[in-house]
Chain A
Amino acid sequence: MEFLTLDVILNSLGEVGSTVLYILVGTLLLEIIVYFLWRPLEIFSGLVDRVLKPMGDPVRHGLSTLLLVGVLVFTVASVSVGVEQSPPPWAPYWPLAIVAFLVGAFISPTAPKIFHWQLRLPYMLFAPALVGLLVLVIYPLLWELNVSFTNLNPKHFKAPDFVGLKNYIDVFTTPVLKQVTFFPVFLRTILWTVINVAFHVTGGMALALLLNRKLKLKGLYRTLLVFPWAIPQPVACLAWRGEFHFEYGFVNILLQRIGLPAIQWMTTPFWNFAAMCITNIWLGIPFMMVILLGGLQSIAGEYYEAAEIDGASGWQQFWNVTIPLLQPILTPAIILGTVWTFTNFNVPFFINQNELETSDTLVTALFRSAFQYFNLGDAAAFAFVNFGILLIFAILYIRVTGGLKGATE
């Protein structure tokens, strides 16, 4: 048992401080290395480019892609998964892979474009974050990819077998856990997301409109209304779970006081889903309200005056002045809200106390499959299908809203 003595505080400050220092120093070193490496690389890449020009661009692109893809496959296949799995027979050839990577990188016609002297700064600035992400995100990703092609579970633990695409096929054909298969869970997750975001936006907008005026106690209202966002999510979820209790929760007590029968929130699929939605809506409206309120406050009053002079009614003002001017904020808010709701784990997991399969979203089903049975092969495949769906959504969204525009505007 440790108590908060001065020793403990100083100790932890020391450790934490040294970590921050290490990271900063490491970042600086990395950036310096990149910075000074750029010129030699530029010269080298220019040389290679001149020498290889007769080969023609398409050939070079093709070769380069081939080599790089090969290196990728090699890397994925070399990430060993089982504890007692002997490294694959091609593992000792990793120096070859590095050479292949370098060759593939420099053959490509885009190499000289990258190693341009002007571009040393952006790459240098991005390098530390990139390295950190590569380590912390890429390695787990590759590991999971590898696992998704094996049958890693307690019965095949130390030396799992390669099973190819079997897990991926299973994702779509066999039940995720007991009875429900992929598409119902997927559709339910979409329904969950749409319902929640719709209520978040409408509710947030309504409250923001109400608060967007000279009002006594406005600060107090804003403070209180923000409670759901400031409370840690797990605590809020457990609080709401208690409120949906059949006998003791205030929801049923209220219902009974106004004469309606008490609802079995925890055991009925429909009502359990409703309970999840109610909780998440309660949690999500404050965030929307804050964002939209900020947006509303920055819309200059002149627009409304101009509209009124033109004879627009309140409703028309809303649709034709407020919404369009709010668009730049509304869009990212909606997208963020959608992504966060889709991948929300806490609410469906904790509200669904009785682990009803009918209340699972993709993320909770994945969690149960992975950890309750430690069926990592299946879970990994499932996770990648999930990821693929979201990735397609992300790419489409960026296309539609032009989110990448920036430096040339």
Chain B
Amino acid sequence: MERRFEDGCDVMGLWLKFLVVSVFLFSLVSVSVPWVSAVNGDVISLEVAEAEEALVSAYDAVLEAEKAGADVSGLLDKLNLGGDYLAEAVVSVRLGDSESAARLAGLCVEAVDGVEGEAVLLRDEAVRFERADFLVRVVGSAVGVVIVVVGGFVLWTVFRRRYLEKVLGSRPEVVSDES
């Protein structure tokens, strides 16, 4: 009876050890393979998430440059190349091809590498140009308004004088009757 109880304890202990080792190995695997959860429910690898981050970051910079008035068409071409690679990487993840996904994610990062810096340069240049343009417009407008107002005043003065001369000149003279 005691022997059977001891055997039962041994089996239980073995199972417990197996369970602990299994949980440990499972945890190890889940930690060693970096995965993140995407918005649409897909689970994507860390490389793809980093590529997406790089692409979005570059896009933010391009958007700022565009808002400052810069021509960003060249940068959009680079972003599109990155977008192509990223889409392919996401599809590869979906198909379970993590090797291709990592390679394509790397290509995406390469494609948009430097875009952020170029966008900042373009933005600064656009801001400088806009300031100069603003100054020219304001000064030009101010000078224009002054010319119009002064010119209008001069014209009015001349017109008024001639008008009065004409009107007064055409009036019949008042002759006093002294007789």
Q: Do A and B come from one complex?
A: no
